[in-house]
Chain A
Amino acid sequence: MSQRIKVLKTYKIFINGKFPRTESGRYTQLKIDNLPIANVCLSSRKDVRNAVLSARNAFESWSSKSAYNRSQILYRIAEIIEGNKSQFIEELILQGEDSKKAILEIDQSIDRIIYFAGWPDKINPIFGSVNPVASSHFNFTILEPMGVVGIVAPEENSLLGLISSIIPVILSGNTCLAIVSEKLPLCAISLAEVISNSDVPNGVVNIITGSKDELAPHIAQHMDVNALGINIDNKELKNKMFFQASNNLKRVVDVSKYNIEDSNFESPYIVKKFMEAKTTWHPIEKDFTSTNNY
C-alpha cells in the first residue's frame, strides 16, 4: 500500500460567517524554526472594509437578541472548544509552545469564555442605575453596546489573547473584527471554525490575518468603526492608532494594560469599557389612582 499523503489545512480568513481567501491574493509562509508550517493570508485593507461591513450588518440583530440568548451562545463556543481541545493543543504545540503550557492555555481559554458567558444578563442589573434627580423625572441609566469594535489581538498567547479580546466585547451586543497575532495565527482560524459552528450569527466575529502595521491604521481611521480594543506592544503603532481614532471620536481601550494570563482579567469592568451609558429622563405625572409616582 502506498503511503498516505497528509491532508493539510488551508488557513483562510473569516468574514461574515464564510472563509474567503484574502481579496488581495497575497500569502505569507509561516515558519517555525525555519520549517514551513502553513500559508497564511496576508490580508489587505479591502478585507478590513468587508469585515467592517459584515460586522455593521450583524450589529442590529446581535444586539437585539436577549442577553440570556447571547449568554447561551457564548457558552456554546466554550462547549465546542472543549470537544476540539486536542486540535487546539496540537496547533499550539505546532506554533512552538510546550505541551504543558498549551494544555494550560486551552483550559484557561475555555474557563474564560464560561466566566464571561455568565455576564450578558447581569451587566445592566449591576451597572445600570436609577438616579436621584431634583426635578419631577424618573431618571435612569443603562449601558448599551457601542457598535462595531476593531480589535488588535496580542502577539503572545495566541488563543487566550484572542478569546480575551473578543468575548468581553461581543457579550454585550457589539460586533467585532479582529486582527490576530502575526507570529501565531493558526489557532485564530481554528477558533473561527468553532465560532462559525456555535450559533454565533454571521458577521458578529470577523477574523483577519496579516500585517498589523498595514491593517491597523485602516481600522483606526474607518468612520464606521465605533471603538477599538488594542493590545499592541509597538508604541509607535499604538500612538498612531490613538491619533487616527480621533477621526470619528472612537473610544480606544488599551487592553495591553491588563495582564491577560492573570485570572484577575476576568472582571465585568472590561466589558463595561466597550459599552456606552444612556441616561433617560422620563417625566413623572402624578396619577391619583396609585400611590406610585411612575
Chain B
Amino acid sequence: MNITLNYESLSLGRKILMILDLKTKVDKLGIEDRVSRITKRSLKSEAKLQGLKMILSMIDLTTLEGMDTDKRVEQLCYKATHLHQEFPDLPNVAAVCVYPNMVKTASNFLKDSEVKVASVATAFPSGNSSLEVKIQETKEAVFNGAEEIDMVISRGKFHSGEYNYVFDEIAIIKENCGDKARLKVILETGELGDYDHIRLASEIAIKAGADFIKTSTGKIKPAATLPITLVMLEAIKDHYYNTGKMVGMKPAGGISNSKLALQYLIMVKETLGNLWLDKHWFRFGASSLANDVLMQLLKQKTGFYQSNNYFSKD
C-alpha cells in the first residue's frame, strides 16, 4: 500500500508531497515469540541494580486526573526531585507529566532542577477537538514552560483512512512546539486494532516529525504491552536505518512493576542498542512504577521485602 501525503507546512508556506511506502506487514507470531523469549530472561544482582536505577531516571511521573490540584502537582514535583531519603545517590526521574493548566505550577516548582515538565495537549485523552483549539492548547503549554508535549493522534480520522489529516495534525503541532519542546505522539494503541495499524500509525507519526512515539494515554485498556512496544521499536529501527535519525519511545500505562520495566529495557537494548538506553530516547509513562522500583532497591539493600505503607502515596 502506498499512501500519498500532502502536507502544507506553515513555516515553509508550501505543500510538501510525501509518498509513504507502507508495505510493511508485521509478523504477528514473530513479534509475540520474540517477546515471550524476552520475558523469560531474568536480571540478577548487580545488573538488576543498574537496571533499576536506569528505570528511575527514565520515568515520567504522571498525574492526569480530573481531580488534580496545584498541591497535588507540587507534591508530585517534590517526589520527582526527592525520591528516597535513604538513597541520596539515586537519579531523579526524567519528567513530570501534567495537564496543560498545571504546567505553570510544575515549571515553577521544577525551575532549578533537571526534571523536565511535560504537558499533554491536543484535547487529551480523546483528541476530539478542532485543529485550532489543539494548536492553541499546545502554544499555551509551551509558553507556560512545558519542555515536552504529549499529543494524541486523531484515532477517528485514522480509522476513516484520513491519514493525511493525522499526518498534518502531527506536523503542525510539531511546528508549534518549535525548538522549545520535544514532541511525543501518543498513538493510543488500544484503540488502533492490530499490529499493522500500529506500525502504520508509528510510521506516520515518525515521518511527521515526532521526537518520541508513545503507546497510550493510560485511560484506555489495554495500554502499553511488550509486543505493541516491540512493533513500535521496529518502526523506529527501520527509520534509523533509512535516515540515520533517532526517534524516542515511550510506553505508558500498565507498567507498574520493576520486573516488567526491566523486560522493556532488555527489549530496547536488543532492538535498538545502547544508544537508546538513555532518558533522552526512552521513557516510561507511569505513576506507581517509581514506588515499586524503590521498594526493589530497598529490598536489595536490606534483604527483606518492603511494604507500600512506607512509601509516598501516588
Which residues does A use to contact B, with CB under 8 Å?
48-49, 52, 218, 221-224, 244, 247-248
| B242 interface residue (CB < 8 Å to A) | no
**B305/A52 in contact, CB under 8 A:** yes
Chosen A-B contacts, 5 in total, with CB atoms closer than 8 Å, are A218-B304, A218-B305, A222-B305, A223-B304, A224-B309
Determine the interface band of chain B, counting residues with CB < 8 A from chain A.
under 10
Interface contact A224-B307, CB-CB below 8 Å: yes
- Which of the listed residues B303, B305, B307 has the most CB atoms from chain A within 10 Å of its own CB? B305
Closest residue of B by beta carbon distance from A45: B305
Task: Tell yes or no: B2 within 8 A of A by CB.
Answer: no
What residue in chain B is nearest A52 (Cβ atoms)? B305
**Does B310 touch A at the CB level, under 8 Å?**
yes
Are B307 and A248 in contact (CB-based, < 8 A)?
yes
Contact yes or no, B304 A221, CB < 8 A: yes
Q: How far is the CA of A224 from the CA of B311 in the complex (A)?
A: 12
Residue B308 at the A interface, CB < 8 A? yes
| Residue B105 is within 8 A (CB to CB) of chain A in the complex | no
- A57 to chain B minimum Cβ distance, whole angstroms, is 11
Alpha-carbon distance A122/B303, docked complex (angstroms): 41
Q: Could you tell me the distance in whole angstroms from the C-beta of A37 to the nearest C-beta in chain B?
A: 32
Task: Tell whether, in the assembled complex, residue B303 and residue A221 are in contact, meaning their CB atoms are under 8 Å apart.
Answer: yes
Report, nearest first, the 4 A-B pairs whose CB atoms are least far apart.
A221-B304, A224-B307, A223-B307, A222-B305
Q: Which residues of B contact A49 (CB under 8 A)?
A: 305
Q: How far is the CA of A247 from the CA of B304 in the complex (A)?
A: 9
Q: Which residues of A contact B306 (CB under 8 A)?
A: 223-224
Q: Which residue of A lies closest to B306 (CB)?
A: A223
Assembly CA distance A181 to B308 (angstroms): 30
CB-based nearest A residue for B298: A223
C-alpha spacing A222/B303, complex, angstroms: 10
Name the residue of chain B whose CB is nearest to the CB of A49: B305
CB of B86, distance to nearest CB on chain A (Å): 13
Interface of chain B residues 257 through 314 with chain A (CB within 8 A): 303-310
Chain B proximity of A59: nearest CB distance (Å): 12
